[in-house]
Amino acid sequence: MFSRLGRAITALASLLFLNACSVFGSAAAPEPEYSVTLSEPPFEVRDYGELVVVKTPMDDGSRAAFGRLFDYISGANAGARDIAMTAPVLNADLSEGSKIAMTAPVLQSRDAAREMIFVLPTGMTLDAAPVPTDPAVTLRTIPPRRVAVVRYSGFMARSAATQKARLRDWMAARNLTAQGTAEVAGYNPPWTLPPWRRNEVLIPVTGD
């Protein structure tokens, strides 16, 4: 019988094979749709529609949090349904004072106020999503929102704090007002070579 890690690796490997992905940076899974309202690479402003997500606290670390969410999409839910994995995996830092507005992998917070989030497949509604069997895993919707984004490569968590500051400087220069906490998103499987990884910091902004 596979361990949790073994099942996760098998699932991700299958996604890579089906989507012709490689260690050179192809995304491992489908992404939620969005429209770009401003593009100044590596910065963007995007509009996302409503998302249905499953989330769990990261009190006991990112590995345990990922395991709980992976178990949920692998059948630890009412009906024992398998759910397709999507990208990105998100980590939200709640230590800045307000609740998260949306979805995302980790910001440099030293308290436990963090959550890991999986975005459920497009078309799955909150009512249709199977109920988690683990009480530490919950479903929610993220309303439509506008986010400022900075994209970077390398190790996601190692550069997250620096990239968050960089994004805030860019937002200030363009009079964009934060409307929620920062999130960090990772799009690639862990064996992707760091120079080809796609990571992002996202900060919700006012819709004007």
Task: Band the pLDDT of 34: cuts 50, 70, 90.
Answer: very high
Start-to-end C-alpha separation, the chain: 53
Between 166 and 10, where is the model more confident?
A: 166
Q: Which domains does the chain have, with CATH numbers?
A: 4-205 (3.20.80.10)
Between CA 83 and CA 133 the distance in angstroms is 14
**Cα distances (Å, whole numbers) of residue 116 to 43, 54, 91:** 23, 9, 4
Residues 50-98 have pLDDT tens digits of 999 999 999 998 889 999 999 999 999 999 999 998 989 999 875 553 3
Beta strands in 79-144 (DSSP E): 89-93, 114-119, 138-142
Helix (H, G, I), strand (E, B) or coil at 44: strand
Residues 116-165 have pLDDT tens digits of 999 999 999 999 999 999 999 999 999 999 999 999 999 988 899 999 99
